[in-house]
């Protein structure tokens, strides 16, 4: 067993010996592509979505240097008719690109070093093959194929690490007008040499690339347009093969006695293709092991990237971020992004990068993006505080103060705060439009998402409340029912429509918050009434 060639199955064995959620349904999908025109796959997801685990699983399944049948006993892949056909049938090359980008001594010659390292191990593994002098990696692989008659399966984990780590262009020393070939250019040429030549299909039964970014585009053309790409934006049949589905998280919660509602609030929200409830698997498992819900997913490098992108001064970006913090979705055109984190030319490019990084979720049917859950919202909030977006930071601070005033029953302070929110966000709201009034509330109460589960236009009693806010577990604050209306008493409407009846299962105190808007004066007024749990067993007093 080698570092790159036929690594065996020990890593997958370690994975399934712990808390393993069966994601082997990926195997039949890849089997169906082998030795066909669709044999090259690139499956990309944000960090901590199980990409490396899937790559190790494929390595264990295809590697002919080991026997992996027992590892897959009882798993989904074993039930597929293709399972025995391809089990341990290929020489597997496994390349983790981050093992090179993390070593500074390789940085200048990283692409050549990758080739040399793999070539050295291939020649050790196949010493009887005759190789031409100065053979590159593809020459060596072709020689082995001709000698043995056997094909390879190539797995590249974190394929795009070089794209993320190295600058786009480098000037030649002493010649500022001449641009040298970049490391990225060299890397793409290597991939093309491997997977887009006449010998490629003879050498490879298939290839599986995984990373964060889809394959880089030059103008509008993919650098490797013979790859089938399955991304956060267009996952196709790979939608549920990475990440946890709703049912998988339900099973985990039942097994470990975890709170499914908290799991949903913290880690759900990714809509990947037709899969409307996808969870970040790393965070789910950490929450179970730590017996505590919080932010486990982010890293410093990703945080710095988010801060850089959201600080870009593209028209409409700040307004869109505010709307998403308020629970709204915003339109995004993902088609123009060149799949290069260093080439960001528009607001849509920023939003698209954040989708690939996992800081935004994407609804392909509506072509909109949104903040998926509390874990991500917390990290976005931290990133904004570290930027020069003083206006957005002020909106968040004002919202925190508004929530405190509401809970304290300070009607005058609430009225003034809603006035300010309405005035400051006219760029994204139509001033006297009824829907804009509801939007005012969601913007004004942005901060409440840190402590409450918020439902907009929540079906209650005989009608709809603009906002119903249920405190999160271990938050010792009352639930809120908030109604905002034109020119009449909103608090009376709350009572008349029996809004509290639908949250009767909530065994805590309740605040009724009626906010009235006068079209002529463009001023808000507020009335707040407390409804302790002990006194709300019936609604007869209304």
| pLDDT score recorded for residue 313 | 72
Same-domain status, 441 and 375: no
Give the pairing type, strands 175-180 and 170-172: antiparallel
Percent of the residues in the chain that have a pLDDT greater than 70, as a whole number: 85
- Give the residue-averaged pLDDT of 470-485: 85
Residue 540 maps to a domain: no
161 or 502: whose pLDDT is higher? 161
Assigned token pair, 495: 């009572």
Q: For the segment 213-268, what is each residue's pLDDT rounded down to a tens digit?
A: 999 887 667 788 999 999 999 999 999 999 999 999 999 999 999 999 899 989 99
Residue 11 has pLDDT above 50, yes or no: yes
- Give the C-alpha separation, 35 to 30, whole Å: 10
Same-domain status, 359 and 256: no
Same-domain status, 336 and 464: no
Same-domain status, 195 and 57: yes
Same-domain status, 14 and 162: yes
Residue 342 has pLDDT above 90, yes or no: no
Expressed as residue numbers, the domain containing 499 is: 391-535
Same-domain status, 348 and 479: no
Of 290, 308, 324, the last residue of a domain is 290
| pLDDT score recorded for residue 360 | 94
Q: How many domains does the chain have?
A: 4
Same-domain status, 30 and 167: yes
Q: Which of 453, 462, 446, 465 is nearest to 506 (CA)?
A: 453
Q: Which helix (H) or strand (E) segment is 262 a member of?
A: helix 260-267
Residue 1 maps to a domain: no
Other CB atoms closer than 10 Å to residue 423's CB: what's the count? 11
Contacts of 456 (CB under 8 A, 6+ apart): 327, 438, 442, 466, 467
| pLDDT score recorded for residue 341 | 84
Answer positive or negative: Cα dihedral of 528, 529, 533, 537. Answer: negative
| pLDDT score recorded for residue 167 | 57
Q: What angle do CA 466, 471, 473 make, to 5 degrees?
A: 150
Tell me the range of 118-122, 180-184, 276-280, 531-535 where mean pLDDT is highest. 118-122
- DSSP 8-state code for residue 78: G
- The 3-class secondary structure across 316-327, one letter per residue, is CHHHHHHHHHCC
- Give the residue-averaged pLDDT of 46-54: 93
Q: For the segment 446-471, what is each residue's pLDDT rounded down to a tens digit?
A: 888 878 888 776 554 444 567 888 88
Q: Are 9 and 63 in contact (CB under 8 A)?
A: yes
Q: For the segment 389-445, what is each residue's pLDDT rounded down to a tens digit?
A: 777 778 888 889 999 999 999 999 999 998 888 777 655 444 445 555 666 777 788
Q: Are 59 and 92 in contact (CB under 8 A)?
A: yes
- Give the residue-averaged pLDDT of 526-541: 68
Assigned token pair, 425: 């966000």
Distance set, CA 242 to CA 109, 283, 528 (Å): 33, 14, 46
Residue 63 has pLDDT above 90, yes or no: yes
Same-domain status, 189 and 317: no
| pLDDT score recorded for residue 541 | 44
- Give the residue-averaged pLDDT of 70-87: 97
348 or 492: whose pLDDT is higher? 348
Widest Cα–Cα separation across the chain: 93
Residue 200 has pLDDT above 90, yes or no: yes
Same-domain status, 380 and 357: yes
Tell me the range of 151-165, 436-450, 504-518 where mean pLDDT is highest. 151-165
Q: Which helix (H) or strand (E) segment is 479 a member of?
A: strand 479-486
| pLDDT score recorded for residue 72 | 98
Give the pairing type, strands 368-370 and 361-363: antiparallel
- Give the C-alpha separation, 74 to 467, whole Å: 47
Residue 215 maps to a domain: yes
Residue 539 has pLDDT above 70, yes or no: no
Residue 488 maps to a domain: yes
Residue 541 maps to a domain: no
- Give the residue-averaged pLDDT of 362-383: 90
Q: For the segment 95-104, what is each residue's pLDDT rounded down to a tens digit?
A: 999 999 988 8
Tell me the range of 80-94, 97-111, 328-342, 369-383 where mean pLDDT is highest. 80-94
Residue 416's CATH number: 3.40.1350
Residue 171's pLDDT band (cuts 50, 70, 90): very low
Same-domain status, 211 and 266: no
């Amino acid at each position: 067993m080698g570092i790159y060639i036929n690594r065996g199955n020990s890593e997958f064995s370690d994975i399934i010996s712990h808390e393993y959620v069966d994601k082997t349904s990926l195997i039949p999908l890849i089997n169906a592509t082998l030795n066909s025109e669709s044999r090259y796959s690139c499956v990309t997801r944000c960090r901590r979505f199980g990409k490396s685990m899937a790559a190790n699983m494929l390595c264990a399944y295809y590697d002919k240097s080991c026997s992996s049948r027992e590892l897959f006993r009882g798993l989904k892949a074993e039930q597929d008719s293709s399972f025995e056909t391809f089990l341990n049938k290929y020489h597997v090359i496994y390349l983790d690109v981050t093992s090179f980008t993390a070593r500074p001594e390789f940085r200048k010659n990283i692409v050549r070093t990758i080739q040399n390292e793999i070539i050295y191990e291939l020649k050790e593994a196949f010493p009887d093959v005759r190789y031409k002098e100065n053979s590159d990696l593809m020459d060596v692989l072709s020689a082995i194929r001709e000698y043995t008659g056997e094909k390879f399966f190539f797995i590249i984990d974190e394929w795009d690490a070089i794209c993320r780590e190295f600058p786009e262009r480098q000037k030649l020393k002493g010649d500022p007008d001449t641009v040298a070939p970049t490391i990225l250019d060299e890397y793409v040429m290597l991939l093309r040499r491997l997977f887009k030549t006449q010998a490629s299909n003879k050498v490879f039964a298939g290839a599986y690339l995984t990373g964060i970014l889809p394959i880089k585009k030059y103008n509008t053309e993919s650098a490797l347009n013979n790859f089938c790409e399955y991304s956060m934006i267009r996952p196709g049949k790979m939608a549920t093969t990475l990440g946890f589905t709703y049912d998988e998280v339900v099973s985990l919660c039942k097994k470990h006695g975890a709170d499914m509602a908290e799991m949903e609030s913290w880690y759900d929200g990714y809509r990947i293709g037709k899969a409307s409830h996808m969870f970040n698997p790393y965070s789910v498992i950490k929450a179970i092991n730590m017996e505590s819900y919080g932010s486990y997913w982010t890293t410093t490098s990703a945080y710095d990237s988010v801060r850089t992108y959201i600080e870009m001064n593209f028209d409409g970006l700040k307004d869109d971020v505010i709307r998403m913090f308020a629970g709204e979705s915003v339109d995004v055109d993902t088609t123009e992004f060149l799949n290069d984190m260093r080439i960001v030319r528009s607001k849509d490019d920023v939003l698209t990068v954040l989708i690939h990084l996992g800081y935004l979720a994407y609804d392909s049917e509506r072509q909109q993006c949104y903040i998926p859950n509390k874990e991500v919202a917390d990290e976005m909030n931290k990133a904004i505080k570290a930027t020069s977006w003083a206006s957005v930071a002020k909106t968040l601070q004002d919202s925190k103060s508004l929530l405190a005033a509401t809970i304290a029953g300070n009607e005058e302070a609430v009225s003034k705060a809603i006035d300010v929110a309405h005035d400051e966000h006219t760029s994204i709201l139509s001033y006297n439009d009824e829907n804009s009034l509801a939007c005012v509330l969601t913007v004004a109460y942005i901060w409440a998402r840190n402590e409450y589960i918020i439902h907009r236009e929540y079906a209650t009693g005989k009608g709809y409340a603009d906002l119903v806010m249920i405190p999160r577990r271990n938050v010792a604050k009352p639930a809120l029912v908030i109604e905002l209306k034109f020119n009449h008493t909103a608090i009376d409407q709350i009572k008349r429509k029996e809004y509290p009846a639908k949250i009767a299962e909530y065994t805590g105190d309740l605040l009724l918050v009626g906010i009235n808007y006068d079209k002529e004066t463009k001023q808000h007024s507020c009335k707040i009434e407390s409804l302790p749990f002990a006194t709300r067993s019936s609604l007869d007093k209304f």
